[in-house]
Structure formats: C-alpha cells, structure tokens
Structure 1
Amino acid sequence: MGNTSSCCACTSCCCQDCFGKRHRSGIYEPLLQANEREAIAELLRFLENRSRTNFFRGEPLQALTTLAYSDNVDLQRSAALAFAEITEKDVSQVGKETLNPILFLLQSHDVEVQRPASAALANLAVNTENKLLIVKLGGLEQLIRQMASPNVEVQCNAVGCITNLATHDDNKARIAKSDALRLLVDLARSKDQRVQRNATGALLNMTHTQDNRQQLVNAGAIPVLISLLSSQDADVQYYCTTALSNIAADGMNRKKLAQTDSRLVQYLIALMETKSLKVQCQAALALRNLASDEKYQLEIVRCKGLAPLLRLLKSSFLPLILSSVACIRNISIHPANESPIIEEGFVNPLIELLSYDDNEEIQCHAISTLRNLAASSERNRKTSVEAGAVERIRTLIHRVPASVQTEMTAAIAVLALSDELKPQLLSMSILQVLVPLTASTKMEVQRNSAAAIGNLSSKVKDYSPFVDVWTSPADGLRHFLIRFLDVNQSVALQHIGVWTIEQFLEGNDPELVSRIASTSEIVDSVTRIAKSPDLLRQAPPEDPADDLDGDIVGLSKRVASALHDFPKQ
C-alpha cells in the first residue's frame, strides 16, 4: 500500500489577524499573551526562510508548540496548518516534542484545526519510526475519534493516517483489536471517493497476517470488499481485489467468501479484462487463491475464466504472466479441468514458459501445470509430448534451478506411465538426461528421476536404450542402482532401487538382466536388504516409496531370488 489520498489542501498559514478577533460564534477570542505574540512573530520569520529551517527542533518547533497549546482557536488553526504544510514537504523521523502538539490539536472540537492536524500526522506516519511513536503516544485512539467525525475531510485524513500506520507489523495487532476496523469497514462505504480509497487501502494493509485477516472478516469486511469490486476507481478496485486475494489464502475464509456472494468468481474474471494492469494481476491472484479449493477450480472454468487467463499468460508483463500461470496451475489440479485447459490452447504457451529464464517461479508453475494436465488421461499425455514438451525439458533440464528440475523430472515420471508413449520417450534419449539426475544433490530430483526410469522400464519391448546407458553418462544406470541400494541411503531410495530392478527383471531382457546379475555390488545389496526386516520399521510413515509394489523386504526377497537364479536359466 503506497501513499494515501490527501484531503487537506494546505495554504500558507496567516497569523497576523489574531488579536482579539471575533470568532464565528460572535464571541471574542481572548487577547493574545505575550509569548503568543512572540511565537507568531518568530513563526512568520521562520516561514519566510522555510527552505533553510528545521521546524522539528529548537525555536521553530517551540513557536509552533506555543501556538498549538494556545486557548485561541485561530492560533491553533495556524499551528495546525503550518504543521500540515511543513510535513507535506519534509517527512523525517521526529520525537514526541513534535508529535505531542499535533496530537493535542487533534483533540480540538474545531474542524479547521482537526483537518490539517490529521493531515500532518498522516504525512509523518510515512516514516517507519514515526509510525511506532504515534501509536505509542496514543495517536491511534485520537484517530479513531477523528474517523467518526461528520466532516469528510477529517475522516479522509484520519483514515489516511491509519492506512500508513497499518503498514508497520507492530501496529497491525493494535489496530485489529481496536474499534478502527469497524469504522474502516463503515468508511469503505463512504460516498466520498477519497475516504473510500483510504479506507480500502487501510483494510488491505490489515490482511497480511492470518490473525488480522480473521479480525477483518469478523468485522464484516468481506461483503463490503466484494461490493466495491465494481468501483470505477482503479485504486479502490486494486485494494479490494488484493485484500480479497489475501483473505482467500485461508481455507475457512474461502468458505465464507462462497457463502457471501455467489458471483465473486464472475466479478474477478471480469476484472481480468479491466484497463488497469495491477488490477488484472490481483484478480488472477485472487482466483489462484480461491482455486486452492475444488469448488472454485471447477467454477472458474464453468464461468469462462480460461480465456482471460490465457490472454494474461501470453502477455509480455512478468507480473501478469506469473499471476495467471500460478492460477492455471491450481485450476489444473482438478481432473475434470485437464481437457478444457488443453482445448483452450494452453499447452504450447506453457511449453514456451519453460524457457522463461528470468523467473524460476514461472517455470515451476508452467511445468507443474503440464504435469497436472497429463495426470489422468492418455490422450492429454500424448498431446503434451506431441507439442514438444519432452524436447523442451530435455534441452533445459540441466541448466534450470533445482526447484524446476524437481518439477520437470516429476512431469517425465507422469508421462512415462503411458505404455503407448514409452518407446517414443526412450527414442528421444530421455535416459541420457535422467540417469545423471539420479545423482542430484536434491533428494526430490533423485527420487523423481529414478521413478521416471522405473516407469519407463515397465512393460517395454525394447530394452536396448537401458543397455546403452549401463555405464554412461555419469557412470550410467549401473552406478545409479549401486548408489540407491547403498546401506547409507534412506529406506525410500533403497526401495526405489529394488523396485526398478524388479521392472528390469520382469522385462526379461537377457543382456540387461545379465549385466545386473553379474554386478556383485547390486546383488549383495539386494540380498542384504532381503535379510534386514528392521528396514520395515525404519520406513517413515509417509514414505514416498509406499506407492511401489509391496514392502521393501518382501520385494527384495523376490528380486534376490531371481538374480541368484539367473545364471541357471
């Protein structure tokens, strides 16, 4: 949240006509004290040289303080205007000597004092240290009273100051537990656009922690924020869309959003077509968070949200690309959405994003989406391969970050489940890529690469591609099996190693099985595992290898027996 909307037009303060002046009520103000006359003269002199004067200390501050604490309302107005004008041009860290007079002016019953005083406080609240000191000195309570003022200008400045204060984490809890939230929600409905803009900005600043989001929801913010998505003001749209996006990060809140307005998804889809790029971006991110739930994954597709998401994904603006690809990743989780996404034309743009070197997160979302699209349909897997996904992965995989490698190897493992595609994948020299990655320093990359090799080895007619990589690259398939079966490896990796050998044995390729059976390190390791029932107890409760066939000891006994019997065949 950036600068707040300013509601106080400050003019040069004028102090000359304060001597016994009749007030609007018809009552004469008291004559000025000697120190007040002196303060007026000093202030006028300092204002004439304002470019060289520091008003936050010494004689200039003392002159302002004298006027601020005066019983003469005109002098208070002059002090408040001077503070507002000075802080408009000079915002720096100040002490309580500066803030206390301004906070005192806020207590005035005169609107012409309240308005510039609240503007001055809002200006000073841009500084990080000032934010904390203002709240420490009781400024929050003063501002809450100002927010309830019938005067729109005073409301606007007070809310603007709250907005700035709410950017500091230490202040957010104080604000959340005060009456400020209820007033902010009420003022977000204001007919004055400046008040509305500042109020929604303050509400946004209160959505960055789960506790504060809950306080906001309890204060009734959700229906107000949704109603303001149709605002004609781009800033209000942005603040409300972003606030709703943050609120949607919590599962319980997503249920409340669904109960509040059934048209929320339609509103957000429409905002992806607005002129404001930042609103488009936040609308896609809001949909992304909503799409953490199955209900919204289906609803976004049903409400025709794919076309605008594809347009954003094809843009040249990084934030739009990131928000849209993150959204489509979540939508693609639902099996029923796989075909609609493919038919909308996402596959080729997603493949192009794999080469988006400027942003690792975009690459991760793109490849994860492609993996999701191939999860449950043979036809969809074939579409991805024919579109060039595997060639692009093979080209990029050794020069992308480990997080992207993790997603890429997982995608290959999914594609390798297709019996129809296995020969094609093997003909693309995919093993030359996967075998070295089994030695990755990242455990997930090791596992995914090994799983892909295991999937490729199951039920293929030609095992020559596996024989070709027996000793190279990177010491080949042989060393991969030896390494995974090592006693120092995790039970999960040992399990994957034994399971992969079983796939090779079931393939019954004489050349490959002979090489495995004649490698003593492999045979000895499998035999050791078969004789180690304690490995069953060592397996973690959520062992990724649990999906493999049988427990590791039983599997190893079958494999060891087959390897020992092989020379006799």
Structure 2
Amino acid sequence: MASGLCENCSRLLKEVAAYLRKVCREFQQKIRDIFRELSQCTCFRTTPERNFLRRTTQELHLLYDDETQLLSQEGLQTLNKLAASESTDLQMTAAMYYLHLSHHLKSPLPEDFMEPVMALLLSADLDVQKTISLALVNLLVKNNVCKELVIEMGMLVPILELFQSGDATAQCHSCACVALLASSESNRDAIMVDGIIPLLALAKSYDPQVQQNATWALLHLTQSDWSTRILCQAGAIPVLVLLLQSSDSEVQFCSCTALCNIAAIQEYHPKLLSIGGHYLLKSLLTLVSSSVQKNSAQACRCLQTLSKNVLIQEQLMDLDCVLPLKALLKTSTAVCTEPAVTLLSALSAHPPNHDVLVGEGLLDEVGQLLHHHRSNSAIVTHSCVIITNLCSSSMGQQALMESLCLSGLLWALLSPALSDETLLHVTSCIHHLMTWDLLRSHLSVTLTAQQVSGLVKLSGQTQNPLLSYNCAAIMSKLEMTEEIISLLRPHYIAMAEYLLVFLKNKDVKFQHLGIIAIFNLKKDGDFSSLLANSELEVQLRKVHAQTEETRRLLQMIQPLSPSSVNP
C-alpha cells in the first residue's frame, strides 16, 4: 500500500483548502474590523494589560496591511507574549492572527513561529483552541508546516485532547489535523499509540463533518501494513463496514477505500466477512449503484480485491452482482467502467460462473464496450480476458457471434492509442477464437479491408516478435474464400517479406507458421506466381533441405526401447 497521496486524497485536500479559504475570508474581515475598533477604544487606557492589548493590536493591525511583514521578528515577539498571556482575549488575538497568516502565507512557516502555536493549543479557552487548530489545519493543507515537526513538538497530545471536548467544531478541526498528520508515514506510529480508539469513536459521531474527518484519518492509517494490523486489532473493521451506509458520500468513499486497503491483505478476509448476512458484500454492491461515480468505482475496486477469494466470488454471484456491474459498463466515463470490467474479468476466470455471465448478456455489453472505449488499454485488456474465458462453451460461442465482440476486437487493432502490450492481448484473444471452426468462419466474413491492412502492418513489424507472430497466425487461419483473397491480394508483396523473415528465424515456431501461411496463400494462383523463383521460395527450399537433413540424422539414432528407458 502506497504511502503517498493518491488522486482522491489530493482532491480531498483541495476541497478542505477551499472550505478553509472561505472561512478565513470571513474571519479576516471580522478581524480587521475588530482590530480597528480595539485600537481606537479608550477603555484600554485604564490598566497596563489593556494598554498592552491596545498597543499589540495596533502593531498586528499594521502587519495585516503589509503582507511582507507577516513573519517579522517584531511580530513573533508580540505573538509569543500574547500566547503566553493568561488573558483569553490576548490569546485569541494571537490565534486570529495565525488564522490570517495561514490564509495568506505562501512560504514555509519558520520553526520559531511554531512555539506560540503550541502555547495556544494548550490554552484553557476552547475558542482559542478551535481557532488555532483551524489555522494549523490550513497550514498543513498548504504544506506551510512540516508534519514531522508538529509531532516532534508534542502538539499531537493537545490535538487529541480536543477529541474529548464535546464540541463538534473542535473535534472537526482536530480530526482534520490528525488526518493530515497521518498522511506522513513517519507520523503514524505516534498517532497509533493514543489516537485509534478516539478516532473510531468520532467516526461514529452524529456530526457529518467530524465523522468525515475521522474517517479520513482512519483511511490514512490503513496505508501501511503495521498500522492496518493495529487498526484491525482495535476493532476498526466493523466501524468501517457500518460507515459504508453513511448518508455522507465522503464518509462512504473514505471507509470504502480503507476497507479496500485492508482487503489487500488476505488474512483479514475472515474478519471482513464475519459480519453476518453477507453485510459487507451487500453494502459494497449497494455502493456500486451509487450516483457518486468515485464511490461506485471504489466499491468495484474493493470487491475486485476481495474476489481473489473463490468463496467470496461464489457469494457475489449468489447476490446477483452482475446486474449492477453491467449498469456501470454502460456509463460513458472510464472512471466507473474500468473497475467494473476489471471485476467482471476476475469473475469470468472462475469456470462455474461462465454460464451465468453468458446468460446475463455480459458479452453483449463487452462488445459495446470495445466499440466505445477502444483506446482505453485497461478496458480493452479486461474485455479480451472476459471473451477468452467465456468462449469455451458452445453457449458462449453463439453469444459471441451475436454480439459486437469480434468486430470490436478487430477495430481495436487499428487504435493508435493502444500499446503493444494491449495489442498482444487483443491478437492473442482473436487467435484463440480462430481455433473454433464456428468463430473462424464468422470472423472470416467479418474482416474489412482496413482491418486486413492493419494485420499485415503488425505482422511485418519486428520490434515485438510475438505480436507479429499473433497477427500472422490469425491470417494463416483465414478461410481462403474469394472475399478473403480479394482483401489479401493487395498485400502479397508485404506478406512475402515478413514470411521470409519468419523462415529465416531460428525459432522453429516461426518457421512452421511461415510454411503454413505459404501453403494457405498458394491456394490463390496470384500468390503462387509471385512465389515462383523468388527469394521466399529459395528460403523455403533451404528450410525443406534442413528439415530433411534433420530427419535423416534422427533416423541414424536407434529409438530407445521402453525397457531401456524404464528398467
């Protein structure tokens, strides 16, 4: 499991940053108004403390208006004094300044400026703690603060203590802090010590934002084997499974992703499935039908990870999983289609599932898929796996001919976006289908001039010999009808060139294919005329002579009797 941030986590961070910017803009305007009023108020002249507050608010107000002075040493000294004060008003002034700072800062925050943050987190006033924790979240989101430094300074303790405050806002901010800190692998050990049980408790909070941030933190803790093990021992699995039913789509996504990470370790499968009535699989299948695309896609990935277990495959089929997965194949975006076809290809690898999958019309959907997503390597590859697996029965072959699968495979050959590796899957699939008489006849009448041209071109390329072999093998199995001959005739010279390369190849497999292809093509008199006295014919005679010589040498060796082999 990777320790870096994935695309979805990066998106979550951006959403948090956008939310914080909105909040901070409101705070900023409020702070400016308050500071202006405080600096003019005469009541601050009555005591030394009020005179200090008046003076410091005036100083900080000047810093607000000059962005280049945000991190001045004078400002740092003032912040230290305010944070160390016993006055909650002075502490709040410092906390609000940090909130403003967190919104406007574009460079790393110097370590010296972290000392007042620690003091403010230890404040006895909950409002001060809420304000400074929000500022810390913003600084962490923007990477203005080193996550490891936060842990080293001991800030995790007061942050975790806010979990027990009973205040939803404080819990929300502190959970967000922990989630961001947990995104750093080196911090997870510290968080695991005292943070797991409180996080699991807050994950069941009635406040959606608290629940979301707590689940987000738990997700980060499933990104390493060790922390995942501790989480599972602490009872995280039932909590995460229940969160799949949350009304909040972000909570659903985080809990599903966390479960996907856990499912990657097979020893946890019994725990994942121990909740009665197939609760986990039913919840994931419900999520597959979610209107939120990233959630349905993530549910597919989780099911695909679990489907490596044959028992779970059987349970999924019993729960009629094919219908919601087929619905995802019809979506126009690869975000949902790709994980759905990946899961279906895993299910098709289990022979007892073949008849059900064919009966559910899966090949019809795969045929449509190949036509609509012919440039997507993952979708094309898994479609080839499904077709290869399901054509083993007569029922599957008939369904294949009635679908658009064969034409979809042939058109995929012409996609410039597909890699050689993907084309290898496509040609291997077509070559496999050509071993069936029914499918070979059907494919022979389906080929177009453009597709034949593509096969010839791929047969002649030398960078990937196996791809070249597959394409040549496909054409060698074509029925030499008048229609096929008319399609092949314009390419006879090009075909003769790659067949010559095959015959010169030291690999006997290529030589055999070359001979078979020449035998098939000689059914057309035009090719026979081209062959006569050509370099290809000379090479063919050399291969024949070598074969005869090999046969003669083998005859010199007396075959061993069975008794001498097995005394």
TM-score range, shorter chain: 0.7 to 0.9
1:57 to 62, 65, 72: 72
* Cα shift at 1:122: 1.2
Q: Which residues of structure 2 form unaligned runs of 5+?
A: 1-8, 556-567
2:344–2:386: 8 Å Cα contact kept in structure 1? no
Name stretches of at least 5 consecutive residues in structure 1 with no aligned partner.
22-30, 533-553, 559-569
**What aligned pairs does 1:42-191 form with structure 2 within 5 A after superposition?**
42-47=56-61, 50-53=64-67, 54-84=69-99, 86-88=101-103, 92-132=107-147, 134-135=149-150, 137-139=152-154, 141-142=156-157, 145-146=160-161, 148-152=163-167, 153-168=169-184, 170-171=185-186, 173-174=188-189, 178-191=193-206
Could you tell me which residue of structure 2 aligns to residue 196 of structure 1?
211
Deviation at 1:234, TM superposition (A): 1.9
Distance between the aligned counterparts of 2:485 and 2:540, measured in 1?
A: 16
Distance in 2, matches of 1:431 and 1:351, equals: 20
Q: What code does the residue aligned with 2:195 have? A: A
* Residue in 1 that maps onto 2:236: 221
Deviations 1:36-65 (A, max 9, x none): 843652324533773544533343343222
TM-superposed CA distance for 1:226, in Å, is: 0.4
| Partner Cα distance (1:470, 1:293) in 2 | 51
Which residue pairs with 1:500 in the alignment? Answer: 513
Separation of aligned partners in 2, 1:61 and 1:361 = 55
Distance 1:70 1:526, change over 3 A: farther
Distance 1:84 1:49, change over 3 A: closer
Q: Which residue number in structure 2 is paired with residue 267 of structure 1?
A: 283
**3-state SS of the aligned residue for 2:437?**
coil
Give the partner amino acid of 1:122: V
- The reply on whether 1:411 has 2:432 as its aligned counterpart is no
1:124 CA drift (Å): 0.8
Q: Deviations over 1:91-134 (max 9, x none)?
A: 65311122221122223344333222222211111122524354
- The farther-off stretch of 422-431 and 198-207 is 422-431
Supply the distance in 1 between the matched residues of 2:94 and 2:158 (Cα, whole angstroms).
Answer: 18
Instruction: Assess, with a 3 A threshold, how the Cα gap between structure 1 residues 175 and 442 changes in structure 2: closer, same or farther.
Output: farther
* Equivalent position of 1:561 in the other structure: none
Q: Distance in 1 between matches of 2:549 and 2:87?
A: 96
1:341 aligns with 2:338: no
* Equivalent residue, structure 2, for 1:538: none
On the 8 A contact 1:121/1:161 being kept in 2, the answer is yes
Distance 1:215 1:444 in 2: 47
Answer 1 or 2: which has greater helix percent: 2
1:446 to 462, 465, 468: 468
Secondary structure, counterpart of 2:415 in structure 1: coil
Provide the residue aligned with 2:491 in structure 1: 472
One-letter code aligned to 1:496? K
Structure 2: distance between partners of 1:504 and 1:396: 24
Q: Which of 282, 288, 291 matches 2:304? A: 288
Shift of 1:232: 1.7
C-alpha displacement at 1:427, in angstroms? 3.5
Distance 1:206 1:358 in 2: 38
Give the match's secondary structure for 1:230. Answer: coil
Aligned to 2:260: 245
Q: Is the 8 A contact 1:200 1:239 kept in 2?
A: yes
**Farther off after superposition, 300-309 or 181-190:** 181-190
Pick closer, same or farther for the CA change 1:422–1:223 going to 2, 3 Å. same
For 1:254-302, what per-residue CA distance to the aligned partner results, in whole angstroms no more than 9, with x for missing partners? 4542345632111111122334333223222322332333333333232
Q: Distance in 2 between matches of 1:117 and 1:315?
A: 45
CA positional deviation for 1:199: 0.8
Structural mapping, 1:421-460, within 5 Å = 421-429=439-447, 433-440=454-461, 441-450=463-472, 452=474, 456=477
Select between 326-335 and 210-219 the one with higher mean Cα deviation.
210-219
Counterparts in 2 of 1:467 and 1:361: CA distance versus 1, 3 Å: closer
- 1:213-259 CA-partner distances (Å, limit 9, x unpaired): 44544443222110111112222112112222233334444454234
Distance (Å, rounded) in 2 between the aligned partners of 1:39 and 1:358: 69
Confirm or deny: 8 A CA contact 1:43 1:64 kept in the other structure: no
Asked whether the equivalents of residues 370 and 384 of structure 1 are also in contact (C-alpha less than 8 Å), the reply is no
8 Å contact 1:91–1:126 — kept in the other structure?
Answer: no
Residue identity opposite 1:249 in structure 2 = A
Overall identity of the aligned pairs, in % = 23
Give the conservation status (yes or no) of the 8 Å contact 1:285–1:323. Answer: yes
Q: If the length of structure 1 is used for normalisation, what is the TM-score?
A: 0.75
Residues 115, 154 of structure 1: 8 Å contact kept: yes
Residue 381 and residue 143 in structure 1: after superposition, are their counterparts in 2 closer, same or farther (change >3 A)? farther
294 and 91 in structure 1: CA distance in 2 versus 1, 3 angstrom threshold: farther
Letter in 1 for 2:238: P
Are residues 421 and 280 of structure 1, via their aligned partners in 2, closer, same or farther at CA, if it must alter by over 3 Å? closer
TM-score normalised to structure 2 length: 0.75
Question: Is 2:341–2:383's contact at 8 Å kept on the other side of the alignment?
Answer: no
Structure 1, residues 541-568: CA drift from partner, whole Å, max 9, x if none? xxxxxxxxxxxxx9x989xxxxxxxxxx
**Distance in structure 2 (CA, Å) of the matches to 1:473 and 1:207:** 59
Q: Secondary structure at the match of 2:171?
A: helix
Taking the aligned partners of 1:164 and 1:397, their CA distance within structure 2 comes to: 46
Aligned to 2:322: 306
CA distance in 1 between counterparts of 2:389 and 2:468 reads 23
Q: Calculate the aligned-residue CA RMSD, in Å.
A: 4.4
CA contact (8 A) 1:481 1:522 kept: no
Map of 1:354-369 to 2, 5 A cutoff?
A: 354-356=370-372, 360-361=376-377, 363-365=379-381, 367-369=383-385
- Relative to 1, partners in 2 of residues 1:74 and 1:557: Cα closer, same or farther, differing over 3 Å? farther
Q: Which amino acid aligns with 1:417?
A: T
Change (3 A) 1:438 1:16: same
Q: Report the alpha carbon displacement of residue 188 of structure 1 after superposing the two structures with TM.
A: 1.5
CA distance in 2, matches of 1:431, 1:101: 74
Change (3 A) 1:426 1:258: same
* Corresponding residue of 2:399: 383
Q: How many correspondences in the alignment?
A: 514
Cα separation, 1, equivalents of 2:245 and 2:513: 57
Q: Is the 8 A contact 2:182 2:188 kept in 1?
A: no
Does the CA contact (< 8 Å) of 1:394 and 1:433 recur in 2?
Answer: no
Q: Specify the SS of the correspondent of 1:292.
A: coil
Tell me, in whole angstroms, the C-alpha distance in 2 between the residues paired with 1:212 and 1:439: 53
Contact 2:303 2:343 in 1 (8 A): yes
From the superposition, tell whether residues 296 and 365 of structure 1 become closer, same or farther in structure 2 (CA, over 3 Å).
farther
Could you say what secondary structure the match of 2:272 adopts?
A: helix
Query: CA distance change for structure 1 residues 78 and 212 in 2, over 3 Å: closer, same or farther?
Result: same
Paired letter, 1:445: L
